Structures are given as structure tokens and as C-alpha cells.
Structure 1
Amino acid sequence: MATETITTTERRPKHSQWGALGDITFRTHSSPGRVSDDRRWKLNAQKIINGYPVHQAGGEDERTTTLEITLNNRFVSIADSYQQLIALAAAQVPRALVIGTDFRGYYVIVSLRETVNTTTQEGIITEASYSLTLKEVRGENTV
């Protein structure tokens, strides 16, 4: 009876798609990062002489989402993904944001922060984290 050996590389789970912003997909096999959604509504005060202000609802303000992701070169080309993020931010074209199967809306990137986590001894980036600040865009200009 022959024995079969399985290497640790073969046991390692394959990547899964965690989310996407337009055509850019975020792949991971561990904890994906964080999404924080900031929504605010306006409540305007109208001053009254000799009285407490009267308030009027002013509707929802612009919605901002912060997306924190970590890219690893085992799953994607970090250099290519970074350039795609830069191009997406520069184009200012609203793209669909999907987390898992949850459609969050159409967003543009308004800021992007890169943090290099690990490199090889030669300086090749093997893992980098990105913090994207996204602003929701509603209306007819969505793709």
C-alpha cells in the first residue's frame, strides 16, 4: 500500500474573493480587513426670538466609506494592483463597491494610503496594506 504525502503548500487554502471596487477584486485567505461606513443626516436649526430653535430635517449628507485591505503577492501582483487603484482614483469614475455579496453603492476614491508590511531582503514588496477613503456618488454618472 503506497503512502501519499501532502506538502504544507498543498494544504494551504486557495484565495477567496472578499470584495470588489469596480474591476478590482480583493483576494485573501485570512482576515480581510475592515470596512467602516460613515453616514450623516443634516438637522438645521432655525433660531427663534425668545424661544428654543425649531429644527428642520435637511436630508442625508455625503456618505463616506473607509476600506482597509491587505494585498499579498501570493494572490495578486501588488505593483499591478497599486497602479490599478491609482488609475481608478485619478479617473474619478464611480464604481460599484461589493463586499461579499452585499452591494454597497457606487463610489469614487478620494484618498489612498499605502503601508508596506513586509519585503524580501532585496526590497521586493510581499505584502502591503491600503486604506481607501471612498465617497458615494448617486445619480446618473454611475458605471
Structure 2
Amino acid sequence: MWGSFGDITFQLLNTPEVVSIEEKAKYSTLAVFGQKERLHFTGFETKKVNFSFLLNIAFCSPSEEIKKLQKLKDEIKAENLIIGDENYGKFIIEGIKTEILKTTPNGQILSAKVEISLNEV
């Protein structure tokens, strides 16, 4: 297994193509009379993780996997993001972008590209 998010596992051909993890520190600007402004560290922003992967009918049901992701987003349910043997913490799904690549003549999804945006809880 490459990794997982809640009960959704990534393995074989549905592993993410691209994973980006963004971590930022927060600073405020303090005015100092007659001098340059100074930065004051105030804390850290929550981590943001974005990844995209392909779903193909040969390895899973793209429609069912998309529905699982939509359910997690709609329930605002925090889940552990695990990549390899590292737990990155609990995240919620902020956004899902689905690009349907191929369907049957009656509209069943055969393959789709899914992009997920996560925000640390």
C-alpha cells in the first residue's frame, strides 16, 4: 500500500501522480518609529496537501471511490493522511475536482482524474 486517507487506500495504479505539501509560518508586521518595520512570529498555518490520481474501472469503481471522497467532504470528517509509513496528521477535504476521462455509452465512468485539496485539522 502506498498510502491512505481514512478508509480510502492508494495502491497500484491509483497512487497519486503529484503530491504537494505546503507548510507556512505566520508573521505580523510591527511598525517601529523611524526604522524599518519588523517581523514578529505569531505561529504556524495549518498544513495544506494537494494530490491528484487516476481512477480506472480495471482496478476499482471510479464512481464509488468518488462518492466515498464526496461523503468525507460533506461530513467534514477528519481522517489520518498516511503516506508510506508516515502519518501526516488529521485532515479534512476542502475540495474535490473530478475530470471524467472516459465513459460507457450510457454514462458509467470508466476512468477519471481526481484532484483533492486537504487542510490540516
TM-score normalised per structure 2: 0.89
**Shift in Å at residue 121 of structure 1?**
4.3
Aligned to 1:81: 65
Report the Cα distance in structure 1 between the residues aligned to 2:36 and 2:65, rounded to whole angstroms.
54
Taking every aligned residue pair, what percent have the same amino acid on both sides? 26
What one-letter code is carried by the residue in structure 2 that aligns with 1:89? K
1:76-130 deviation line (CA, Å, top 9, x unaligned): 1111111111110011121000112221111000110000122234433211111
Asked whether the equivalents of residues 13 and 54 of structure 2 are also in contact (C-alpha less than 8 Å), the reply is: no
TM-score normalised per structure 1: 0.77
Aligned to 1:51: 35
Aligned to 1:140: none
**Shift in Å at residue 30 of structure 1?**
7.5
RCO higher in 1 or 2 (8 Å CA, sep ≥ 6)? 2
Extract unaligned runs of 5+ from structure 1: 1-16, 138-143
- Structural RMSD (CA): 1.7
Greater gyration radius: 1
1:6-58 deviation line (CA, Å, top 9, x unaligned): xxxxxxxxxxx322110111233376411101111112110011111122111
Number of aligned pairs? 121
SS at match of 1:93: coil
Q: Which runs of 4+ in 1 moved over 4 A?
A: none
Extract unaligned runs of 5+ from structure 2: none
Aligned to 1:72: 56
Report the Cα distance in structure 1 between the residues aligned to 2:43 and 2:107, rounded to whole angstroms.
50
Asked whether the equivalents of residues 18 and 32 of structure 1 are also in contact (C-alpha less than 8 Å), the reply is: no
